[in-house]
Amino acid sequence: MKRLLLAIALLFAGLAQAEVRPFVAGSLQQIENEQRGRPFILSLWSASCTHCPAELQALGDLLRRQPRLELVIVATDTPADAPELQRLAASYGLAGRAQWVFADVQPERLRYEIDRRWYGELPRTYFYDRQHRRLGRSGVVPAGELERWVDEHVK
């Protein structure tokens, strides 16, 4: 019986793990279309980023308190890193959220498509309101600011 319960738990844990989709030219438009009419946060990060764990942990904590929040995470790593990216996302409480990874040999093109004024500093967070006006922030966004944004735009 214990083995059966363990197998079922592992099955559901695997189902909760979101596929890491390739982020290519046009992916930002696809994400925005999927989120049409809804506020959401787009978070750019990397497995090698020093400050990203604090940002991802804050977002995971926020999601536990605000499960209605739409969050999309995009790693600036490579598709070969997908298993590690999934593991890291899950460790921050972000399993099951939309996950993407840069999949272009020239990541500069993707950065330019996302934001012409973004030069690759991480973490990078974009707050989209219901009309999809967006505000971009570089660096770790304080938890209080995340909460205020959700209070104003999601509830």
Whether omega before 123 lies within 30 degrees of 0, making that bond cis, reads: yes
pLDDT band at 27 (very low <50, low <70, confident <90, very high): very high
Give domain 18-153's CATH number out of 3.90.550.10, 3.90.1150.10, 3.40.30.10, 3.40.1030.10.
3.40.30.10
Residue 24 has pLDDT above 90, yes or no: yes
Residue 17: the pLDDT is 58
12, pLDDT greater than 50: no
Who contacts 99 (Cβ-Cβ below 8 Å, separation ≥6)? 18, 19, 20, 21, 72, 73, 74, 75, 85, 86, 89
Mean pLDDT within 133-155:
95
pLDDT of residue 11: 35
pLDDT in tens, 38-59: 999 999 999 999 999 999 999 9
| Band (18; pLDDT cuts 50, 70, 90) | confident
Half-sphere exposure of 87 (CA within 13 A, CB side): 5
Instruction: With a cut of 80, say whether residue 29 has pLDDT above it.
Output: yes
| 70-129 pLDDT tens trace | 999 999 999 999 999 999 999 999 999 999 999 999 999 999 999 999 999 999 999 999
- DSSP letter at 32 equals H
**What are the structural domain ranges in the chain?**
18-153
Question: Crossing angle for the helix pair 143-153 and 52-65, nearest 10 degrees?
Answer: 40
